[in-house]
């Protein structure tokens, strides 16, 4: 435990702690822009400079490791002046249209400038290269606002292992973006939006589609339905000042209803539906392999996460047959809303307008894929991120905290606790195991409180083995089989897991979620998602699950109803048409 002095205060910190974290432990907040704990410490923005006794120049506290006997001044005249100048320089090259920027009041740069009390920019001058890239359905990049902190580069290249954007050019002309200044649409970008999630300013954001929703709501001919993904309810509150991990399901439903949506439905419903289809698919493949001895693509990979799908299409085309053909819950919802629900209310598909609220930017892209027109129309018309929904609620003038709790509408609104946990890493797998195990053995999953502990938490790659004993007659071929499952979140981890599988590691079922932490850490969630925030949101989700009467997807009465009345059986012909899809190998540019 190195002991050092920070601003004349003695403090002991764990070995390896950088000065920025050490100062935080001492109750001193050093401003910083490029640093992102557990993601990036590269000392590039120079905002966090401090004076270290004996050092020739000021030292970036984010990359300087605390050492025994170090004497650090975080607020000396020299450090203050340098910090101000650095910030003024950044501001001098920044667009500065704060009032109309979607990060207004939610911008790290603005906050630091405000904290430091910067009222004028001493060194004004020319602005560097300006370029707006709105080539993808999900994201809009505006280099005029970029501060070159490189968080996006690190997240894209290292956390996600995608590498769609990196520094280009030199000097003042250096900018962050795809190679050769191409648009994002032309490179391997999977549109996961993790870049937008870590951007401290408004340089990368989701494509804002609130206006299209208002337009639909204002159109009397449309029946506008909304679905909200499980991860929203644990994060939306943050847009209104609630601490991370506050569940606001009821207020959210009320808000949506007040804003004029004709039905407030739940993506959880189709999450349960997904378990029915995907669980059956897994069992079918296992049967093919074990009984029929057919060459079957195993392990089976989950398919809920559109960023993961696009990543696999670009980087691992040979494993596409292993990916479940199930559409994501969002797309399943769109398909049944414009068919099953439309029939129920005696409307045509084109009269239904489906809005989904997702923690995800890739969902915007997914909804536009050509495979997603099962109803004859585009199944999901508009995808809003959690952040957009937050803004839309503010636009509608609702005082969110004072709203009463509401409940989801039927017939696409009921859900099990298993659906809730789709929001976090390990959740889809756990939900599937809850159902599959019970189908195969007739007994509940033998884990405490139904939670498969080995695959919970924020570890990058997790695995579990479940031995199947006491099968019911249909599934006796699984007697004694140990089902091995693995879970990866963050595409960088997914890559490692795939490489492991290619090297011979055997699993039956693999869950991949694009974003670190799963959907609760999605690219469309309120900023800034740190590991602490992830843990808090996950805890809320588990709470939601545990509070549910029904904890298993196959017990959802509305799911049972749709099979009874409409789909007839999992993997049946109607399911095949509405709920399943196919994938395309793509170039790796």
479 is an active site residue = no
What are φ and ψ of residue 67, in 5° steps?
Answer: -125, 155
Check residue 241 for interaction with another protein (CB under 8 A): no
3-state SS record for 495-556? HHHHHHHHCCCCCCEEEEECCCCCHHHCCCCCCCCCHHHHHHHHHHHHHHHHCCCCCCHHHC
Closer residue to another protein, CB minimum distance, 46 or 387: 46
Of 118-126, 276-284, 357-365, 489-497: span binding another protein (CB under 8 A): 118-126
Q: How many residues bind another protein (CB under 8 A)?
A: 37
* Least distance CB 167 / another protein (angstroms): 6
3-state secondary structure of 385: strand
Q: Which of 75, 76, 92, 185 binds another protein (CB under 8 A)?
A: 92
Euclidean distance between CA atoms 439 and 157, whole angstroms: 41
Closest listed residue to residue 140, CA positions, set 199, 84, 213 = 199
Helix 108-116 crosses helix 77-92 at what angle (to 10 degrees)?
A: 140
Instruction: Map the footprint of another protein across residues 467-506, applying CB under 8 A.
Output: none
56 is an active site residue = no
* Least distance CB 90 / another protein (angstroms): 6
363 is an active site residue = yes
Check residue 18 for interaction with another protein (CB under 8 A): no
Closer residue to another protein, CB minimum distance, 179 or 345: 179
Q: Are 362 and 310 in contact (CB under 8 A)?
A: yes
Q: Which of 49, 216, 358, 540 binds another protein (CB under 8 A)?
A: 49
Closer residue to another protein, CB minimum distance, 203 or 487: 203
> What residues contact residue 324 under an 8 Å CB cut-off, 6+ apart?
278, 281, 282, 300, 301, 302, 303
544 is an active site residue = no
* Least distance CB 284 / another protein (angstroms): 45
What DSSP designation does 59 have? E
152 is an active site residue = no
Closer residue to another protein, CB minimum distance, 13 or 58: 58
Check residue 177 for interaction with another protein (CB under 8 A): no
What the block records as the tokens of 528 is 């800034």
Of 88-96, 245-253, 420-428, 510-518: span binding another protein (CB under 8 A): 88-96
Of 86-94, 239-247, 428-436, 525-533: span binding another protein (CB under 8 A): 86-94
Q: Which of 170, 221, 293, 582 binds another protein (CB under 8 A)?
A: 170
Q: Are 375 and 225 in contact (CB under 8 A)?
A: no
Check residue 47 for interaction with another protein (CB under 8 A): yes
What the block records as the tokens of 413 is 């609104």
Of 58-66, 374-382, 440-448, 568-576: span binding another protein (CB under 8 A): 58-66
3-state secondary structure of 6: strand
Closer residue to another protein, CB minimum distance, 167 or 401: 167
Euclidean distance between CA atoms 58 and 24, whole angstroms: 19
575 is an active site residue = no
Euclidean distance between CA atoms 381 and 353, whole angstroms: 6
What the block records as the tokens of 58 is 């000021």
Binding site residues, another protein, CB under 8 A: 42-47, 49, 57-58, 60, 63-65, 78, 81-82, 85-86, 89-90, 92-93, 122-123, 125-126, 148, 150, 166-167, 169-175
Provide the annotated active-site residues.
278, 281, 304, 324, 363, 366, 371, 519
């Amino acid at each position: 435990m190195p002991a050092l002095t920070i601003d004349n205060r003695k403090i002991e910190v764990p070995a390896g702690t950088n000065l920025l974290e050490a100062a935080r432990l001492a109750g001193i907040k050093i401003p910083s822009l490029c640093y992102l704990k557990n993601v990036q410490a590269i000392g590039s923005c120079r905002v966090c400079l401090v004076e270290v006794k004996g050092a020739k120049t000021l030292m970036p506290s984010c990359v300087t490791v605390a050492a025994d006997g170090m004497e650090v001044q975080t607020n000396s005249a020299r450090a203050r002046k340098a910090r101000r100048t650095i910030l003024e320089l950044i501001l001098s090259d920044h667009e500065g249209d704060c009032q109309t920027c979607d990060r207004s009041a939610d911008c790290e740069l603005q906050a630091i400038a405000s904290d430091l009390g910067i009222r004028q920019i001493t060194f004004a001058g020319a602005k560097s290269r300006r370029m707006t890239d709105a080539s993808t359905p999900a994201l809009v990049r505006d280099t005029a606002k970029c501060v070159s902190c490189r968080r996006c580069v690190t997240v894209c290249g290292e956390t996600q292992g995608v590498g769609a954007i990196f520094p280009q050019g030199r000097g003042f002309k250096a900018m962050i973006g795809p190679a050769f200044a191409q648009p994002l649409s032309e490179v391997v970008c999977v549109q996961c939006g993790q870049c937008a999630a870590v951007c401290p300013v408004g340089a990368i954001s989701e494509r804002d589609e609130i206006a299209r929703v208002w337009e639909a709501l204002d159109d009397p001919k449309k029946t506008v339905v909304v679905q909200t993904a499980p991860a929203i309810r644990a994060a939306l509150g943050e847009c209104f000042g609630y601490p991370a991990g506050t569940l606001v399901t009821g207020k959210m439903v009320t808000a949506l209803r007040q804003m004029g949506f004709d039905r407030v439905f739940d993506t959880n419903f189709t999450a349960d539906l997904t378990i029915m289809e995907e669980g059956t698919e897994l069992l079918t493949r296992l049967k093919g392999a074990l009984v029929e001895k057919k060459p079957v693509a195993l392990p089976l990979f989950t398919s809920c996460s559109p960023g993961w799908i696009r990543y696999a299409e670009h980087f691992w085309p040979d494993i596409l047959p292993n990916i479940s053909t199930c559409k994501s819950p969002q797309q399943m919802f769109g398909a049944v809303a414009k068919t099953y629900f439309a029939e129920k209310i005696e409307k045509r598909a084109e009269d239904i307008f489906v809005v989904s609220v997702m923690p995800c930017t890739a969902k915007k892209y997914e909804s536009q894929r050509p495979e997603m027109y099962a109803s004859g129309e585009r199944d999901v018309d508009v995808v809003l991120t959690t952040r957009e929904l937050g803004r839309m609620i503010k636009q509608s003038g609702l005082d969110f905290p004072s709203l009463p709790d509401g409940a989801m509408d039927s017939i696409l609104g009921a859900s099990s606790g298993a659906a809730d946990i789709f929001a976090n890493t390990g959740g889809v797998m756990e939900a599937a195991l809850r159902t599959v195990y019970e189908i195969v053995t007739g007994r509940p999953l033998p884990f405490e409180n139904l939670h498969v502990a080995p695959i919970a938490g924020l570890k990058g790659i997790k695995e579990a083995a479940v031995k199947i004993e006491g099968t019911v007659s249909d599934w006796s071929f699984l007697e004694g089989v140990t089902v091995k499952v693995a879970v990866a979140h963050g595409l960088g981890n997914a890559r490692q897991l795939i490489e492991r599988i290619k090297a011979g590691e055997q699993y039956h079922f693999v869950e991949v979620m694009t974003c670190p932490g799963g959907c609760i850490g999605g690219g469309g969630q309120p900023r800034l998602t740190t590991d602490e925030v992830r843990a808090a949101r996950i805890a809320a989700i588990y709470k939601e699950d545990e509070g549910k009467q029904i904890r298993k997807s196959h017990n959802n009465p509305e799911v049972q109803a749709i099979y009874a009345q409409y789909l007839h059986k999992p993997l049946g012909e109607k399911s095949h048409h509405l709920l399943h899809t196919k994938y395309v190998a793509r170039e790796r540019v």
